Structure 1
Amino acid sequence: MNIKRSLSTLCILLTVFSYTVVAQKKEKMNVLFVISDDLTAAAVSSYENSLSYSPNIARLSEEGAQYTRAYSQYPVCGPSRASLLFGYYPTATGVYGYTSGREKVGPDKKSLPQLFKESGYYTARVSKIFHMGIPGDIESGSDGADDSLSWTQRYNSQGPEWMARGEGELVQNNPYGKFPVKGGNVMTIVKGEGGDLEHSDGRTAQKAIEIIRAKSKQPFFLAVGLVRPHVPFVAPREYFDRFPYQEMVLPPKVQGDWDDMPANAINYVTTKNAEMSEDQQKKAIAAYYASVSYMDAQVGKILACLKEEGLDKNTIVVFTSDHGFHLGEHDFWMKVSLHEESVRVPLIIKVPGKKSVVCHSFVELLDLYPTLTELAGIKPQSNIQGKSLVKTLDDPLFKVRDFVFSISQNAGKGGNAFSIRNHKWAYIQYGENAENGAELYDMEYDIKQYTNLAKLPRYATTVEQMKQLLRQKIQEVRDNDLSL
């Protein structure tokens, strides 16, 4: 009898264990997707910047996979976000403006969060995920150019932006006549009075924490948009203390730097056309770093809450930015340019159970869509244009791409500009046939892109090879269009 009873007990235990294993296999991982605005990889301390102070992002990179060669597909907010969220290059969608992209891709295409929503996830957006105008939509607390089909719930984080209480200063002597003295979508600095919750990003972190603590019975896809360091540079005063502007070092000024660049390569905001003094340039750099530090503190609060609630063990965390930002390199400021500082972004993916790695393969923001769907076991539409990064989580030497492809708007001069970046070369072409010029840089010996080789006879063959590679890529993207 004892033997029979023992066998019966063993069978029950095995059955319970079997059901537990099945339940664990079926348990869905949450996704916490955090995106900063206008954050260049070169301004993050876990990348190559010792001046920057971003310890929370650095800690995340030590726990996850950090990608050192991640690139935006369009160095402007609206097109970049539409590309990564719908899974298509801008040249496939035709989304080049300040929109969500929905009107271009149509009602049948599933955005990344929409796909999660339709797969049983609670999807929430806090602040800017699809395009929002900054500072306008933040000041008004509006939805901006959002996509309502993507979300179970949406939350906006209204903030005073350049009208915040505090010490304000415009560091452009020529703000193009569009804005009052203190600010707008220009390089305005506000050392704010009060704490983190006085401003949009502090309120965004607070709302994200509330959602995490609510711990819905459903698995969640929580998208958190932090607007700093996008201009205006607004943060509580304490974040500026670490960065006295007098101690800022300007990027090297190369005499005749623009002489070998096509006219269309000169960025839309420069030290010259913004009429910035040396002190103003230093103040802009210091304020950018202060804004990064403030944004990083909000990331820290959200990640701390995730851990406190025990959800870090079952939540995929992604941190990235929509594109980069120039801080005086080549006397360029802001974005739009296809040079490194404007298109290279930080990208960190932390997956429970995966070790910390650093991956040097070329990757694109477009790759987040297939990566997150594969990790979640969700099948996307077959013709999305990114490549999954899942293999790099176990093998950081795995090569995802031989090169990255980005598009821009000819620095505001009409038409499009295109770039191909591989290990050896960065090739930038203005116009589909280089009718407005081209740039070629040797990225092994000229990482800061000071010497344009495109017009030198000895590099004619290389230029032609890169032009052909670009032509093939553009055609490939357009052939693999949005048809099902």
Structure 2
Amino acid sequence: MKSIYSIPLIFLFITQWSFGQGDTKPNVLFIISDDLTNTAVSAYENAAGHTPNIDQLAAEGTLFTRAYCQFPVCGPSRASMLSGYYPHGTGTFGYVSGREQIGPDRQMWPQLFKDNGYYTARVSKIYHMGVPGDIEKGTDGTDDPASWTERFNSQGPEWLAEGESELVQNNPFSLKPKQGGNVMTIVKAEGDDLVHSDGKTAEKASELIRKHKDQPFFLAVGFVRPHVPFVAPKSYFDPFPYQEVVLPPKVINDWDDIPERGINYVTTKHAKMSEEQEKKAVAAYYASVAYMDAQVGKVLKTLKDEGLEDNTIVIFTSDHGFHLGEHGFWMKVSLREESVRVPLIIKVPGQQPQVCHSLVELLDLYPTVAELAGLPTQGHLQGKSLVKTLENPDQEVREMAFSVSVRGQGHSFLLRSQKWAYIQYDEDAGGGMELFDMQHDVKQYNNLAYLPRYQPVVAEFQEALRTKLQEVRDNDLK
């Protein structure tokens, strides 16, 4: 007997893969959060988080459990993702858009859609913006004008917002602690969601969806929370009393078996944080995430209310992660899991909800969405399309994910396989190495890189890194 569901499912499948053909063009709604670690998204491994709207999107799309950024700092991560090149492929390691590195003739990801008849717009931070600086001033940051039909900034008061305020770290870069800037200042703000940048971003994004619903659009929506300062309306703090926060375990001599370069730039020790301050920072981070999630929900509701879900590809991710006291580390920059792994959800109309455990990279989004939309790329992209994982989540995209970081003049490298995480400081390993067995030591407490029995594994990764860097630098920009 034929299933009553067979015809609708076949229709949805055909509709999905006919995107980009004939008169049918899918919309793209790209949503990116700033500094969002997987462990704060309850659809992942931490039920302490409160992200019902992101969780609902995950329940409707493909959730990737092993997605990695290419650089755990905002500017170079976004430049890599949007240009289609690894940082070492273009030498893009700073707070730039990447346009100067790839030149005027290369298409950025949203520009590809603009050049193929789409209305393209960004709301708030997509390419790099300084947080809180550009948000306070309402300025563009290091944007790429060629990518957009229109662009909109969302000014907000940030750490100057009215409300109860507290700095929970001593600023390690100054003799005098400061209340603002790129530090962990908490503000339980007065007023509603629309006082702040992310509330304004959700409102503008919803307005643009309604205004452009009758033409194909690529809408990029950038939320700045939970990036520091931790600012949100005070009601979002209520579900997260800091007294109930359970901090990561403190392991005696945790840093003794890692190179000095492996100790992050902000630590509990160097920032002189008390246990109470640590708990307040974690609680405030979760409150900021909850506020951001509520804004995501408003945008997704508008998409649904306007009847656009069946013709819109939705992507949700972050530019990198964030340490919340693991190993005594805070913020980003490190190549440990909490800093370099990102949440990633892709929802394509007509596909069943699923979970994919393949190693993937943010660099893969450009070719993936281009293929889904049936748009030809210039052939230079260094990412890999994830379309086959959307067809079958058991498909493996790559054997290893590759990420890099820079502190001072020193470059650090991560190769992450399903079993191992290998970190090397400097191309000649002069700054040291780390090797973690991710099947038996998922929190990365035991560095195996210098133990005799693991030298064959280290040698394999060193050779793999040399090969990867050669491949990455062998691009057609020359």
> Which band: TM-score by shorter chain?
over 0.9
Per the alignment, residue 231 of structure 1 pairs with 228
Per the alignment, residue 169 of structure 1 pairs with 166
- Aligned partner (choices 441, 450, 462) of residue 436 of structure 2: 441
- Aligned partner (choices 268, 275, 278) of residue 278 of structure 1: 275
1:205 aligns with 2:202: yes
Q: CA deviation at 1:105?
A: 1.0
Q: Report sequence identity in percent.
A: 67
1:266 aligns with 2:260: no
AA of the residue aligned to 2:231: V
CA distance in 2, matches of 1:111, 1:277: 44
Per the alignment, residue 95 of structure 2 pairs with 98
Q: CA deviation at 1:23?
A: 11
Per the alignment, residue 158 of structure 1 pairs with 155
Does structure 2 retain, via aligned residues, the 8 Å contact 1:264–1:413?
Answer: no
DSSP 3-state at the match of 1:420:
strand
Per the alignment, residue 4 of structure 1 pairs with none
1:455 aligns with 2:440: no
Instruction: Please list the CA deviations of residues 26-74 of structure 1 after superposition, one character each: whole Å capped at 9, or x if unmatched.
Output: 2100000000000011211000011000000000000000000000000
1:347 aligns with 2:344: yes
DSSP 3-state at the match of 1:26:
coil
Does structure 1 retain, via aligned residues, the 8 Å contact 2:167–2:186?
Answer: yes
Q: CA deviation at 1:25?
A: 4.5
1:84 aligns with 2:81: yes
CA change 1:120–1:31 in 2 (3 A) is same
User: Once structures 1 and 2 are overlaid, which stretch shifts more, 269-278 or 211-220?
Assistant: 211-220
CA change 1:29–1:159 in 2 (3 A) is same
CA change 1:464–1:430 in 2 (3 A) is same
CA change 1:117–1:192 in 2 (3 A) is same
Q: Which has the larger radius of gyration?
A: 1
Per the alignment, residue 8 of structure 2 pairs with none
Does structure 1 retain, via aligned residues, the 8 Å contact 2:170–2:272?
Answer: yes
1:470 aligns with 2:471: no
Unaligned 5+ residue runs, structure 1?
Answer: 1-20
User: Once structures 1 and 2 are overlaid, which stretch shifts more, 67-76 or 385-394?
Assistant: 385-394
Per the alignment, residue 424 of structure 1 pairs with 419
CA distance in 1, matches of 2:330, 2:177: 20
CA distance in 2, matches of 1:40, 1:87: 23
1:183 aligns with 2:187: no
Does structure 1 retain, via aligned residues, the 8 Å contact 2:403–2:414?
Answer: yes
Q: CA deviation at 1:447?
A: 0.5
Q: CA deviation at 1:480?
A: 2.9
1:479 aligns with 2:477: no
CA change 1:266–1:458 in 2 (3 A) is same
CA distance in 2, matches of 1:475, 1:23: 35
- Aligned partner (choices 122, 125, 130) of residue 125 of structure 1: 122
Does structure 1 retain, via aligned residues, the 8 Å contact 2:75–2:97?
Answer: yes
Instruction: Please list the CA deviations of residues 201-228 of structure 1 after superposition, one character each: whole Å capped at 9, or x if unmatched.
Output: 0000000000011125430000000000
Per the alignment, residue 26 of structure 2 pairs with 29
1:415 aligns with 2:410: yes
- Aligned partner (choices 299, 303, 307) of residue 300 of structure 2: 303
- Aligned partner (choices 320, 326, 329) of residue 329 of structure 1: 326
AA of the residue aligned to 2:425: Y
Q: CA RMSD in A?
A: 1.4
DSSP 3-state at the match of 1:416:
strand
Does structure 2 retain, via aligned residues, the 8 Å contact 1:175–1:186?
Answer: no
CA distance in 2, matches of 1:76, 1:173: 21
Instruction: Please list the CA deviations of residues 358-383 of structure 1 after superposition, one character each: whole Å capped at 9, or x if unmatched.
Output: 00000000000000000110011112
Does structure 2 retain, via aligned residues, the 8 Å contact 1:77–1:131?
Answer: yes
Q: CA deviation at 1:104?
A: 1.1
AA of the residue aligned to 2:278: Q
CA distance in 1, matches of 2:464, 2:193: 47
CA distance in 2, matches of 1:179, 1:138: 24
Unaligned 5+ residue runs, structure 2?
Answer: 1-17
Scaled by the length of structure 2, the TM-score of the pair is 0.95
DSSP 3-state at the match of 2:410:
coil
Per the alignment, residue 18 of structure 1 pairs with none
Does structure 1 retain, via aligned residues, the 8 Å contact 2:19–2:26?
Answer: no
- Aligned partner (choices 355, 361, 365) of residue 368 of structure 1: 365
Task: Count residues in correspondence.
Answer: 461
